[in-house]
Structure 1
Amino acid sequence: MGLAACAAPSAPELLTADGIERASADRAAYPDELAMFRTSALRLGDALLASEEGNVIASPGSLLIALAMLRAGASGEAAAEMDAVLGLPEADRDEAMNALLASLEEYDGDPGSVDEDNPPAKPLVHTANGLFVDRDVPTGRGYLETLAKHYGTGVHPVDFRDQAVTAPAIDAWVNKNTGGRIEKAPAPYDPNNTFSLLNSVYFAAAWDIPFDAEATSDEPFATADGTVDVPMMHGLQEMAYAEGPGWQAVDLPYGEGFVMRLVLPAKDSDGGAGTLNADRLAEVALALEAADPEDVDLALPTWDHKSHFDVRAILEQLGLQKTLSTTSDFDTIQPGLVITQAAQDANITVAEKGTVAAAVTQINGMATSVRPEPARSISFDRPFHYQIVHVGTGLPLFMGKIADPR
C-alpha cells in the first residue's frame, strides 16, 4: 500500500501514506463550503432528532465529518447522490473540511485530563478520525493520501475475523478519544466487516459565567405527559437574544469560542421542539448571529442524557439508496466495498459549572471482491485416531486412538 508506520498508543499500528503531510488550511478561504457544511449538519441533526422520541442528544457534526471521510472515497452514482442528498460541496470539499477540522483543533486537548465536575475555562474540543481496515484487503493509495492530507489520519490494519483482538482495539480507540464517556463502538461487532470508519467529538467547557448552585431549585417543567419538578438553574447575564414567529432563542456563552444555543418554541406550538426543523434552525442562527448582546434572566434545567442511533436507517430515509447498496462506487477505498452498518452514540451533562459531551459515529463496510478465505484450520481438541504410516508402502506401522492425552 506504500505506507509508513508511526506510533499509535493503545491502538494497532497506524499506517499513513508515504510522503504526504497534512495540508495547511484557512477557513477564510472556504466561506461558501463551510456554509454548506453547516446547512448539511442542520439537516443531519434534524433527521437524528426526529428518529427518536423523548430526550435526545446527537452529534450532527460527528456524522458530517464521518460522511465526508466516506465521500472522499466515493465515485459514480454514490458520489453524486451523497453530494445531492447531503448538500456537500462538489469542489474543495476535502480542503474545506480540513479547514473546519483545523479550526476545532485550536481547542484540542486530552479528554482524559478533564475533571468533568469542573470543566475547563477554555473549552477543550477533541475530534479524532480513525479507520480500521482488514490487513488482508488492500486500501486504495489515493484514499490514504486524502486521509493523510486533509483528515490528519491513516489506517489501523487489523484482522476483523479475530474478534477477541480487534473488537477491544476499536473499543479502546473509542474510550480514549471520548475520555471514557463512551466505552464501546456504537455498531455491533461483525467479523465479516473489513472496514470501520470512526469519528469522535469530545467537548468540555465551563460557562463564561457559572450558575450559582445555591440558586438551583426544584421547579415545574411541563412535559407532554404533565408537569414534573426538575432542578432549575438561574442566572442573569449578557448574551445574544433573538425571537421570531413561534420561537425565542439565546446563545449562552462558554469561556471562549463556543456557545450553547437554546431555542424555546412558543407555548402554543403543537409539536414543541419537534417544530424546529433545519430551515427554522437556520433562521434562528442568522438572527442570533446578527443580535447584539443584552441582559437576560435565564432559567435553565440541568440534564444528563445519552442516545443511540441506527444511522444507516436514518441515511436510508434521507435518500442515500445507492450509497448504501453499491458494491462498486467505493472501490477507491476497498475493492467491492459495501456499507454494512452505521451508528452513533452520544451523551451530554449540563450543570451549574458547564457542559461535558461526547459522541462517536461509526460507519462499517465489507469488501466483497478480494477478501481471501482463511487458511484451513483443524484443532485436535477431542478424541481422535492416529497412525504411523510408511509412505512408500502405505503400511500402518502403528495405529491408535486418543481418548484423553494426559
Structure 2
Amino acid sequence: MAKIVAASAAVALAAACSAPVPAMLKADGVDRVALDATAYAAELRAFRNSALGLGQALLADGGNGTGGNVVSSPGSLLVALAMLRAGASGETAAELDAVLGLPRDGRDEAMNALLASLAKFDGDPATVDEDNPPRKPVMHVANGLFVDREVPTGEAYLNTLARHYGTGVYPVDFSNQGETKPAIDAWVDKNTRGRIKEAPAKYDPRNTFSLLNSVYFAAAWRAPFDPGSTEDLPFTTARGEQIDVPAMHNLLEMKYAEGPGWRGVDLPYAEGFVMRLVLPDSGTDAPALFRASGLRKMADALDAAPLATVQIQLPRWDHRCSFDLRRVLEAAGLQKTLTTTEDFSAIQPEIAITQAAQAANITVAEKGTVAAAVTQINGMVTSAPPRPEQTIDFDRPFHYQVVHVETGVPLFMGAVADPRS
C-alpha cells in the first residue's frame, strides 16, 4: 500500500453524537498539480460531451423520480468515473474510453484542470444561507476514497488521485459497520451541507473500496425574481393534466436560441454559471429531442447565441432523486467495467465493482438555486485474504519443526538465529 502520512483514521463514535469524518490521509510526498484549463480546450470539450451523454442516460433511466421529475448530476458521475478510469487497464480501460468518449491523452491532467476551474468558486457549504443564496456562487466539489486498511491499495493509483483529483484517502474497517458507515455518511453530510445525509449506496461490509464525489452548488440569480410577481398559473404536466403552480416572472437579457423542436435560454446567475432551460415545442417527442446528440447541438447553439431581452416565466421547484448507477452504466454499454475482476487490480487486487449509486436534489426559487449530489462507486476484493485474528512476526530467533501430522513425529527440528547463514 502507498505510504500514507497523517493521524490515525480511527473513528471514535459517541452514541449521542453524530459521527466525525475520519482523518484524511494522502500519499506521501505527492502534492496536487496546478494546471490551466486553457491548455486543455479539446479535452474539456470531450468532457462536456461525455457529461451530456451521461446526463441523457440518467434522464432516460429516471431514477426514483416521481411524476417524470428527474434531477441528476452528470458532472459528479463523470468525475467519479474518471477517478475509476485512473485505476483501469486492459479491456475495461478501452471500454470506459470508448463509451464515455474520454480523451486518449492527458485525461487525468485535463480533469485536474476542470476541477481547478471549478475551484475558483469553492467555498464552505456550511457558511451558505440557503434562504439567501450567495451572489458569488459556491461550487464545492469533493473527492473521497474510503479503503479497507487491511487491503493493499495501489501506490500509483493513490498518487494519481492525489496529484490530479485532490482525493482524500480514508483507511477504515469495512467489516465494522458501526464505525465505517457513520464515517462515510458524515463525509457526505459535511460536503453537501446536510442536503444529502447518507451515502447513496446501501452499506455492504464486504466492500473494501468506496469512491465518492460530491457536488454542492448555491448561487443567486444575476437578476432575482420579484416574489411579489409570483402567482399561481396553469402548468400542463407530462401526463396532460393541467394544474396550478407558483410561477415566477422576470424580464432580462440572456442568451436565447432555438432549433428544430425546441427553444431555450441561458438564465444567468450572478457570476460564472447559468441555468440552461430548454422548452420542447408542443407535440415534440421529448425523449428523442434530448438524446446526447441533440443535447450537444443545443449546447453549441446556446454557447454561440447572442443576448436577447427575454420575458421569462418559470415555476419554482424542489426535487430530489436517486439512481442505481449499475443499471444506468450497464444500459450505457459498460458491461466489462461492471463485471471485470482483473482490470482494476491497480486499485486493489482482483477488485470487482459491486455497487454504484447517486443521490441528487435541487431547489429553485426567486432568489437563486441550491443543489447537491453525491456519486458513489463501491468495490470488493474478490480474493481477499482472511482477516487475521492475531499477528505474529518472526523477526528474532525462533524454533521450528517439520511434523508428520498423522503421527505427530517431528521429522525435522531446528532453530533460526540468523537467517543469512
Deviation at 1:16, TM superposition (A): 1.2
Give the residue type in structure 2 aligned to 1:367: V
Q: Secondary structure at the match of 1:106?
A: helix
- Residue number among 329, 334, 337 corresponding to 1:320 in the alignment: 334
- Residue number among 73, 78, 81 corresponding to 1:59 in the alignment: 73
Quote the Cα distance in structure 2 between the aligned partners of 1:208 and 1:283. Answer: 26
> Aligned pair in 2 of structure 1 residues 315, 146: CA closer, same or farther (>3 Å)?
same
Give the residue type in structure 2 aligned to 1:4: V
Give the residue type in structure 2 aligned to 1:351: A
CA contact (8 A) 1:136 1:371 kept: no
Deviation at 1:274, TM superposition (A): 6.0
In structure 2, the residue matched to 1:239 is 254
Task: Report whether the alignment pairs 1:173 with 2:187.
Answer: yes
Task: Report whether the alignment pairs 1:128 with 2:137.
Answer: no
Give the residue type in structure 2 aligned to 1:23: V
What does residue range 325-404 of structure 1 map to in structure 2 within 5 Å?
A: 325-373=339-387, 375=389
Q: Secondary structure at the match of 1:89?
A: coil
Task: Report whether the alignment pairs 1:13 with 2:12.
Answer: no
Deviation at 1:147, TM superposition (A): 0.7
Deviation at 1:331, TM superposition (A): 0.6
Cα deviation per residue 1:341-362 (whole Å; 9 max; x = unaligned)?
Answer: 0000000000000000000000
Task: Report whether the alignment pairs 1:104 with 2:118.
Answer: yes
Task: Report whether the alignment pairs 1:138 with 2:149.
Answer: no
In structure 2, the residue matched to 1:50 is 60
Quote the Cα distance in structure 2 between the aligned partners of 1:33 and 1:97. Answer: 8
Deviation at 1:15, TM superposition (A): 2.0
In structure 1, the residue matched to 2:91 is 77
Quote the Cα distance in structure 2 between the aligned partners of 1:121 and 1:331. Answer: 45
In structure 1, the residue matched to 2:206 is 192
Q: Which moved more, 1:96-105 or 1:14-23?
A: 14-23
Deviation at 1:7, TM superposition (A): 9.0
Deviation at 1:225, TM superposition (A): 3.6
In structure 2, the residue matched to 1:266 is 281
Give the residue type in structure 1 aligned to 2:253: E
CA contact (8 A) 1:17 1:154 kept: no
CA contact (8 A) 1:232 1:299 kept: yes
> Aligned pair in 2 of structure 1 residues 31, 244: CA closer, same or farther (>3 Å)?
same
In structure 1, the residue matched to 2:417 is none
Quote the Cα distance in structure 2 between the aligned partners of 1:11 and 1:367. Answer: 24
Q: Secondary structure at the match of 1:30?
A: helix
TM-score, scaled to structure 2: 0.87
Give the residue type in structure 2 aligned to 1:209: A
Q: Secondary structure at the match of 2:370?
A: strand
What does residue range 83-94 of structure 1 map to in structure 2 within 5 Å?
A: 83-94=97-108
Instruction: Figure out how many residues of one structure are paired with residues of the other and give that number.
Output: 375
Task: Report whether the alignment pairs 1:34 with 2:44.
Answer: yes
CA contact (8 A) 1:221 1:227 kept: yes
> Aligned pair in 2 of structure 1 residues 7, 253: CA closer, same or farther (>3 Å)?
farther
In structure 1, the residue matched to 2:167 is 153
Quote the Cα distance in structure 2 between the aligned partners of 1:374 and 1:217. Answer: 66
Deviation at 1:373, TM superposition (A): 3.2
Quote the Cα distance in structure 1 between the aligned partners of 2:171 and 2:211. Answer: 12
Quote the Cα distance in structure 1 between the aligned partners of 2:337 and 2:169. Answer: 22
> Aligned pair in 2 of structure 1 residues 352, 338: CA closer, same or farther (>3 Å)?
same
Q: Secondary structure at the match of 2:215?
A: strand
In structure 2, the residue matched to 1:280 is 294
CA contact (8 A) 1:265 1:273 kept: no
In structure 2, the residue matched to 1:385 is none
Deviation at 1:170, TM superposition (A): 0.2
Q: Secondary structure at the match of 1:339?
A: strand
CA contact (8 A) 1:50 1:274 kept: no
Q: Secondary structure at the match of 1:136?
A: coil
In structure 2, the residue matched to 1:3 is 4
Q: Secondary structure at the match of 2:296?
A: helix
Give the residue type in structure 1 aligned to 2:333: G
> Aligned pair in 2 of structure 1 residues 354, 340: CA closer, same or farther (>3 Å)?
same
CA contact (8 A) 1:144 1:154 kept: no
Quote the Cα distance in structure 2 between the aligned partners of 1:7 and 1:287. Answer: 52
Cα deviation per residue 1:253-299 (whole Å; 9 max; x = unaligned)?
Answer: 00110000000000121x33663121111111111111111100000
> Aligned pair in 2 of structure 1 residues 97, 6: CA closer, same or farther (>3 Å)?
farther
Deviation at 1:12, TM superposition (A): 1.7
Cα deviation per residue 1:108-137 (whole Å; 9 max; x = unaligned)?
Answer: 001111111100001000000000000000
Q: Secondary structure at the match of 1:47?
A: helix
In structure 2, the residue matched to 1:249 is 264
In structure 1, the residue matched to 2:403 is none
Quote the Cα distance in structure 1 between the aligned partners of 2:95 and 2:27. Answer: 28
Give the residue type in structure 1 aligned to 2:26: T
Deviation at 1:6, TM superposition (A): 6.0
Q: Secondary structure at the match of 2:25?
A: strand
Q: Which moved more, 1:113-122 or 1:5-14?
A: 5-14
What does residue range 304-319 of structure 1 map to in structure 2 within 5 Å?
A: 304-319=318-333
Quote the Cα distance in structure 2 between the aligned partners of 1:177 and 1:274. Answer: 35
Q: Secondary structure at the match of 1:202?
A: strand
TM-score, scaled to structure 1: 0.90
Quote the Cα distance in structure 2 between the aligned partners of 1:30 and 1:251. Answer: 24
The answer for unaligned runs of 5 or more in structure 1 is 377-406
Deviation at 1:60, TM superposition (A): 0.0
Deviation at 1:374, TM superposition (A): 5.1
